[in-house]
Amino acid sequence: MSVSWRPRPSASARGPEVAARVGVPLGIALLVCFVTGLLSHWIQHPPGWFWWPTRPVWLYRLTQGTHVVCGIAAIPLLLVKMWAVYPRLFDRPRPRSPLWIAERGSIALLVGSVFFELTTGLLNIAQYYPWKFFFPAAHYAMGYLAIGALAVHLAVKLPVIRDALSRPLESPPASGISRRAVLNAALVSATVAAVAVAGQSVPFLRRVSVLAPRSGEGPQGVPVNRTAVSAGVAGPARDADYRLVVIAGERRREFSRAELLALPQAGAVLPIACVEGWSASAHWSGVRLRDLLAEVGYTGGDVRCESLETAGLYRSSVLPARHVTDRDTLIALTVNGQTLDLDHGFPCRLIAPNRPGVLQTKWLSRIEVVP
Ligand SMILES: Nc1nc2c(c(=O)[nH]1)N[C@H]1C(S)=C(S)[C@@H](COP(=O)(O)O)O[C@H]1N2
Ligand SMILES: [Mo]
């Protein structure tokens, strides 16, 4: 069985020395992407056993920011790794053994799925959806495939990887460009790519973040994901007859915006942390959800928050009871000291600690305790 490169007296910089060394940070980045991606998926579609805290308020901001930064950093690493093994990808010898077939098969699966994950992820953060499938479902399912193929690849290649890592990088010396130069180029471009996208979450990096699509642009210092006009709520949101309906079991009350403002107000500094990786912190004020629910005799349970939107994937969200009772979970009426902009969810929006942006429902119309 031969799954290793034969040492050549004076080889090109291509080969296992570079492939294995680029593979280490690439493997780590992919693993971090998988774990943070699973977390994000579970927060949005919680299985029964899943438990997600309300503190620290920035935890999801960190895990999802990390997900996107690691995914972006993995792109140049993957390209250099492909370059290092490129001639081997086109070897077409006859199948030699079951192990050999497993190795080649897992590589095809690995390359395909990782390519899919990185390109769809990249296009997603650019909010460009040229495909027909539903991005989160496809990205999630393919994540399992990628990590499974990675595990098989590592298991099969372990001897080759060990051998390549234990040998000095430049032995035998590469003809032409040195392996060290290739490796440095890979690491530098991964770092540059990471920094270029990290600015959408890390304020002091903003000025260098050429890749950050949304970094602080937007009314009241907060980016806007979907405007009121594109959500089709600009009319109803400004309607003088607007009422927020609050329901717990048999009890139901309606509140105008003025009535919400007349209730005790609370404030909190909380981030909007979009699944696309951008995030921005702001000071929100409004009515604590638990105070509002006390008006209808809330005794516990999850709570559904619905938007004025009549269609749209993100028109409603469910808050676990733990988030409902948190002191910082607000029905926000202002942001950064100003009346909530129409695009930030006027007349009122949900803002809760440690949640993906997609669950921070804007233009609330109805809040109901889930029976
Ligand atoms: N009703 C409604 N609420 C919504 C959305 C939406 O499309 N409809 N988008 C969500 C997403 S994906 C994000 S990231 C945040 C962004 O809030 P912002 O536009 O105020 O920054 O709003 C969330 N709330
Ligand atoms: Mo989002």
Q: Which of 314, 335, 346 to mutate to test the pocket of ligand 1 (most atoms within 8 A of CB)?
A: 314
Residue with CA closest to ligand 1 atom 23: 358
pLDDT at 215: 47
Most confident of 2-16, 80-94, 281-295: 281-295
Q: Residues 41, 303, 280, CA angle at the centre, nearest 5°? A: 55
Check if 285 has its Cβ closer than 6 Å to any atom of ligand 1.
no
pLDDT at 101: 83
Check if 225 has its Cβ closer than 6 Å to any atom of ligand 1.
yes
Q: How far is the CA of 360 from the centre of ligand 2 (A)?
A: 9
Whole-angstrom distance, CA of residue 12 vs CA of residue 306: 60
Which CA distances in Å does 126 have to 119, 196, 327? 11, 13, 34
Where do the domains of the chain lie, and which CATH numbers do they carry? 16-205 (no CATH), 221-369 (3.90.420.10)
Nearest to 139 by CA among 104, 166, 113: 113
Check if 228 has its Cβ closer than 6 Å to any atom of ligand 1.
no
Mean per-residue pLDDT of the chain: 91
Q: For ligand 1, what atom is nearest to the CA of residue 344?
A: 20
358 Cβ neighbours under 8 A, 6+ residues apart? 44, 274, 275, 314, 317
Reported as a single tens digit per residue, the pLDDT across 321-371 is 999 999 999 999 999 999 999 999 999 999 999 999 999 999 999 999 999
Q: How far is the CA of 362 from the centre of ligand 1 (A)?
A: 6
Give the mean model confidence (pLDDT) for residues 178-194. 96
Would you call 340 exposed, middle or buried from its count of C-beta atoms within 10 A (0-12, 13-18, 19+)? buried
Residue with CA closest to ligand 1 atom 16: 225
Pick from 65-69, 102-106, 227-231, 317-321: least confident: 102-106
Reported as a single tens digit per residue, the pLDDT across 139-153 is 999 999 999 999 999
Length of the chain: 371
Q: What is the DSSP string of 50-81?
A: ----S-STTHHHHHHHHHHHHHHHHHHHHHHH
Q: How far is the CA of 78 from the centre of ligand 1 (A)?
A: 32
Query: pTM higher than 0.75 for the full model?
Result: yes
Amino acid 81 reads K
Q: How far is the CA of 132 from the centre of ligand 1 (A)?
A: 22
Q: How far is the CA of 44 from the centre of ligand 1 (A)?
A: 14
Nearest to 125 by CA among 67, 78, 56: 67
Q: Which of 334, 362, 363, 366 to mutate to test the pocket of ligand 1 (most atoms within 8 A of CB)?
A: 362
Name the 3-class secondary structure at 197.
Answer: helix
Q: Which ligand does the CA of 271 lie closest to?
A: 1
Reported as a single tens digit per residue, the pLDDT across 89-134 is 777 777 778 878 877 888 999 999 999 999 999 988 877 777 777 8
